[in-house]
Every structure is written in structure tokens, then in C-alpha cells.
């Protein structure tokens, strides 16, 4: 009897997560070399071409090599990469943006190419990571919430683990993300580090999250979504 109770509880938990699970875009996996990428460089150039090489080390971006229709190649290392849209393999094309924006979500079309996101491109941008010793390092990370990120940006952690998956009911979900609040340093938050998450929330107007010490990792996407859409 306990076994069936546990199965039911697990199923309800997965359904609860699923109702908010589409607010973040999925983590980048494999590059599609047949589609064109668009990269903005630190020098201000916009380069377009098929990504022949998308090099990563320990999951983190290192460089991309583009080749355009004129057979011209552009090698863009980390230090010259500012932002870009990288095509993905095995991604559901024509994404319904409402699945993760939610009803009433506002897509920041001034800063992001809505069409590219809808076509399944991953958006990457450079930011600065500060380690525990105060040393700064430039990293290129995938933005998980381009649809609503005016107050808090959430970036996928390339090295994160995922929760247990139960196919075909639910995929495992990430157990950590990088967060970049407005005018704040990038921080890494894990699924058991509630205090770190409060340092982000307490700067904004979502009172229900400020006092709720029973905050659950499964509430993450909903909380970030509300901050970015309610707090202006």
C-alpha cells in the first residue's frame, strides 16, 4: 500500500512541476550545423553562418567557427563573443512561447529576436563570473528566460546535475542555475540553497516569497517569472 502511495505522490509532484516547467527554455545540447547561427562580437560585428565548430570545455563555451554562403569562415573565441543565437538539433521547432511565458507574459522584443527563439535557437551571452576568492572570469552562458528577464536573468549551468527522470512522464529538471539580478553579480544557486535565492528575491516586490521559508525548488520558475512580469 505504501508503494502505491509513493507512486501517487511522485506523480503529483511531477505534474506540479510540469505546470511551470516550460517557463524556462531547455538547456542547449547539440548544435545544428545545417542552420545559420547569428553572433554579435565584442567589436560590434554581426556574423552569420553555419556553426562548423562549437567548442566547449567542461560544458562552458570556448569558441565557435562560422562559415557563410560565400565560403568565408569566422572564428570567434570567447574573448570576442558578446552574444548570439545558436541553432539546436532535436529541438521542437515553432515553440509556442506561451508555454513558458504564461498568459500575459511580455516578450522583451527590444533585446531579443523573438523569431529565433521561436524557431528553437538557444541564446547565449557573455557575463562575468566571480569565484569564491574574488577572481573574475568571463563566461558565455545560455539564457533560460529570454521572454521575461528585465529584473533577473537565469542562465543554465553547463555543469549541473539533473533530478531523477521518470520517462515518459517527466524529464529530470536542473538542480542549479546561474542568476544575474539587475546591477548584481552572477551567482550560482543550487536546489538546496534557499538562502542564496532569498538574496535575489528580497531586492524585489514579491512579498509572498520573502516570508515563505518553505520555498521549494519547484517554485523557482514561477517565482522568477512573477518577479520579471510584476516587478517593474
Is the pLDDT reported for residue 177 higher than 80? Answer: yes
Q: Where are the alpha helices (DSSP H) in the chain?
A: 2-18, 98-101, 114-118, 194-201, 207-211, 220-230
Q: Which residue has the higher pLDDT, 185 or 80?
A: 80
Name the CA radius of gyration of the chain, rounded. Answer: 19
- Out of 6-15, 62-71, 72-81, 88-97, pick the least confident: 6-15
Give percent of the chain above pLDDT 70. 68
Is the pLDDT reported for residue 232 higher than 90? Answer: no
Q: What is the pLDDT of residues 118-169, one digit of tens each?
A: 888 999 999 999 887 888 999 999 999 887 787 889 999 999 888 765 444 4
Q: What is the pLDDT of residue 134?
A: 83
> Cβ(16)–Cβ(222) under 8 Å?
no
Hey, where are the domains in the chain?
A: 2-23+122-230
> Cβ(79)–Cβ(35) under 8 Å?
no
Is the pLDDT reported for residue 228 higher than 90? Answer: no
Q: What is the pLDDT of residue 83?
A: 96
> Cβ(100)–Cβ(41) under 8 Å?
no
- Out of 93-102, 116-125, 175-184, 206-215, pick the least confident: 93-102
Q: How far apart are CA 214 and CA 183, in angstroms?
A: 27
Count other C-beta atoms under 10 Å from residue 162's C-beta.
12
Amino acid at each position: 500500500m505504501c508503494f502505491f502511495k509513493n507512486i501517487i505522490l511522485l506523480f503529483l509532484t511531477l505534474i506540479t512541476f510540469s505546470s511551470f516547467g516550460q517557463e524556462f527554455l531547455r538547456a542547449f545540447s547539440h548544435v545544428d550545423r545545417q542552420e545559420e547561427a547569428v553572433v554579435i562580437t565584442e567589436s560590434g560585428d554581426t556574423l552569420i553562418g553555419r556553426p562548423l565548430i562549437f567548442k566547449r570545455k567542461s560544458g562552458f563555451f570556448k569558441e565557435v567557427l562560422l562559415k557563410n554562403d560565400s565560403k568565408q569562415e569566422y572564428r570567434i573565441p570567447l574573448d570576442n563573443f558578446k552574444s548570439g543565437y545558436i541553432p539546436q538539433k532535436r529541438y521542437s521547432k515553432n515553440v509556442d512561447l506561451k508555454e513558458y511565458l504564461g498568459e500575459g507574459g511580455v516578450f522583451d522584443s527590444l533585446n531579443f529576436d523573438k523569431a529565433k527563439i521561436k524557431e528553437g535557437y538557444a541564446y547565449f551571452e557573455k557575463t562575468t563570473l566571480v569565484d569564491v576568492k574574488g577572481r573574475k572570469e568571463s563566461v558565455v552562458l545560455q539564457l533560460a528566460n529570454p521572454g521575461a528577464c528585465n529584473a533577473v536573468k537565469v542562465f543554465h549551468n553547463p555543469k549541473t546535475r539533473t533530478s531523477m527522470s521518470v520517462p515518459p512522464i517527466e524529464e529530470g529538471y536542473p538542480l542549479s542555475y546561474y542568476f544575474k539580478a539587475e546591477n548584481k553579480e552572477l551567482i550560482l544557486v543550487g536546489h538546496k540553497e534557499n538562502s542564496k535565492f532569498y538574496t535575489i528575491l528580497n531586492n524585489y516586490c514579491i512579498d509572498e516569497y520573502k516570508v515563505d521559508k518553505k520555498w521549494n525548488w519547484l517554485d523557482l520558475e514561477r517565482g522568477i517569472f512573477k518577479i520579471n512580469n510584476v516587478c517593474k
